[in-house]
Chain A
């Protein structure tokens, strides 16, 4: 199945057909119909806190980083796992299968997922980040190299489409689709795949999101660049459990 071409494509649903566009000029490969695909998803470049483009090679292994996509207020985890992450078939919240396209970057190890737990919407903000990636084994769950939500101990596998490994979550974290430009080594967030929870997220956190991001801004798409940084820089407390 694997080949050297970038299997990443971004999905643009116009109500009917799914289009995939292969970057780096290789053969297009149709992905399984996504459970959710964002219409007119913004294509946004990842930059560091100083505004310079984030280079894929600069992202450390076992990175537990955060950026906001597709809305100004919706957080996503940016992780570099140790091994190439292969495409994985997972099920959405309605039990429908979709194929998570795998990792991106020169070694296919860079992945991104919505930082909103599929169980009860625990999330990451400036004050506290409850859902984090850690290399080391969790005391509570016994798993290492996983995304853990420390509110109720849901565990997700970032190398396998964030499918649920343990805990009360019933479906994977929504995947943020990434593209890597091998010429510039830049990374782009280009779309979403999986069960999105943004409506419920806005409903649950609206008052705080308005305060932090602005009344209109919190629910508008990011444009151009979005800042990515270690969660330890973004959040006062990254919870381990």
Chain B
């Protein structure tokens, strides 16, 4: 039997008022303060009623997040244990794929490849998609409060992904951060951001399009470098007098360095200005300028990528490791469970292990973790396996040529986590370009059918 553990409630005081307390007490929520407040009673609505779900057929597992981790997790929890009743909570109405989206910027692929249906995924996977967000968690009672009602569960997997940390760019004012997020969206959280970046390119007249590499273990290590290549390809193809300025705090690309450096030099001469040891310390949204330690860089347009952190939800639920610079979840690195709570898991980019935050990593990890949960629910276990980071990057939009890397992870006592079994192909080719696209198609099949 699981040890009694600290719930996420108690520190939060978001329900005030007796009216609320009455409505909420049935749901087991803590209330504080005095005096009724009719407006707040209305807000309590979804938090004080059960979600519209059928009575669970078996042990209920909630998967929070419908990204590359959550989608794979939901489907394979059900596959590995057909007796599970699986509910996936995701607020987005449609799935939009960040991986491969850079290829769309240069029209190598179209959005029909990137857009997928959550209803189809749930239907094919035999689980329920509840469109909503997790707001709070009572881990003692095993009750999850969502914007679509509360759900009682046996196991919960939190794979809510990332959020942006705009303060890391020196943009500390929340108003400025919101302005920056909307004016120069980063394009590493799926959906509208990518539509905006595509529109910027379609409208681009001339000048500098600014991209940057954040510090820390950011989502999609090759992303900014591939994006630079695709935008450069686009400028060349369209005869645009434009240039990509790519600011990188590192001395060389964080992944597939030789491949990207060769591509910048041989394929995109004159179109990419790659500046290393360049850290953004401030952004002037109205002035279209970023500040670095060495001076200001002006741009015509940009996609500005802050440092990432685990989704705010992890911190809100009291599950973040305070020592983690990106406030990622505190979990057993090999079991994926929260300390003292074998019913709560964290997976995907919110994980604290320094794995590459990428689609293949999340997908292969979810295969492994879903096996673990299914086994443990039946009194057995399933051994740890390393997730697999297979990562293609298209460096030539005109020729549709890509490079790739394939790596796994191992833990060494005293040294910590490191890459292992690394295979690198940094000579670009059309064949790898085709494999690049098929990589995506195969994983969409894995997640949606």
Interface residues of chain A, those whose CB is within 8 Å of chain B, are 117, 119-122, 128, 130, 139-142, 150-153, 168, 200, 203-204, 237, 239-241
Interface residues of chain B, those whose CB is within 8 Å of chain A, are 360, 364, 367, 388, 390, 404, 406, 423, 425, 430-432, 434-435, 438-439, 441-443, 445-446, 449
Q: B276 → chain A, closest Cβ, in Å?
A: 29
Q: Is the CB of B364 within 8 A of A151?
A: no
Given contacts A140-B423, A152-B390, contact A200 B449 (CB under 8 A): yes
Q: Is the CB of B364 within 8 A of A168?
A: yes
Q: Is the CB of B432 within 8 A of A130?
A: no
Q: B196 → chain A, closest Cβ, in Å?
A: 30
User: Please, which residues of chain B bring their CB within 8 A of the CB of A237?
Assistant: 430-431, 434
User: Please, which residues of chain A bring their CB within 8 A of the CB of B360?
Assistant: 152
Q: Which residue of A lies closest to B427 (CB)?
A: A139
Given contacts A139-B423, A168-B388, contact A153 B445 (CB under 8 A): no
CA distance A122 to B425 in the complex (A): 20
Q: Which residue of B lies closest to A150 (CB)?
A: B435
User: Please, which residues of chain B bring their CB within 8 A of the CB of A240?
Assistant: 431
Q: 14 new A-B pairs (CB below 8 Å) besides A142-B423, A241-B432?
A: A122-B442, A130-B435, A139-B423, A150-B431, A151-B435, A152-B390, A152-B439, A153-B390, A153-B406, A168-B388, A200-B449, A203-B449, A237-B431, A241-B425
Q: Which residue of B lies closest to A121 (CB)?
A: B445
Shortest beta-carbon contacts, A-B, top 8: A120-B442, A151-B438, A151-B442, A150-B435, A239-B431, A120-B446, A140-B423, A128-B434
Q: Which residue of A lies closest to B434 (CB)?
A: A128
Q: Is the CB of A139 within 8 A of B434?
A: no
User: Please, which residues of chain A bring their CB within 8 A of the CB of B442?
Assistant: 117, 119-122, 151-152
User: Please, which residues of chain B bring their CB within 8 A of the CB of A122?
Assistant: 438, 441-442
Q: Which residue of B lies closest to A170 (CB)?
A: B367
Q: Is the CB of B425 within 8 A of A139?
A: yes
CA distance A152 to B442 in the complex (A): 8
Q: Is the CB of B364 within 8 A of A130?
A: no
Q: A36 → chain B, closest Cβ, in Å?
A: 18
CA distance A1 to B388 in the complex (A): 40
Point out the residue from A119, A168, A241 that lies within 8 Å of B435, measured CB to CB.
Answer: A241
Point out the residue from B388, B425, B439, B449 that lies within 8 Å of A151, measured CB to CB.
Answer: B439
Q: B396 → chain A, closest Cβ, in Å?
A: 16
Sample of 11 A–B contacts (CB below 8 Å): A120-B443, A128-B438, A140-B404, A141-B423, A150-B438, A151-B441, A151-B442, A152-B442, A153-B390, A200-B449, A241-B435
Q: Is the CB of B431 within 8 A of A120?
A: no
CA distance A28 to B308 in the complex (A): 65
Q: B378 → chain A, closest Cβ, in Å?
A: 15
Q: B116 → chain A, closest Cβ, in Å?
A: 13
CA distance A121 to B430 in the complex (A): 21
User: Please, which residues of chain B bring their CB within 8 A of the CB of A128?
Assistant: 434, 438
Q: Is the CB of B445 within 8 A of A120?
A: yes
User: Please, which residues of chain B bring their CB within 8 A of the CB of A168?
Assistant: 364, 367, 388
Q: Is the CB of B430 within 8 A of A204?
A: no
Q: B429 → chain A, closest Cβ, in Å?
A: 9
Q: B364 → chain A, closest Cβ, in Å?
A: 6
Q: B395 → chain A, closest Cβ, in Å?
A: 16
Given contacts A140-B425, A153-B390, A239-B431, contact A130 B445 (CB under 8 A): no
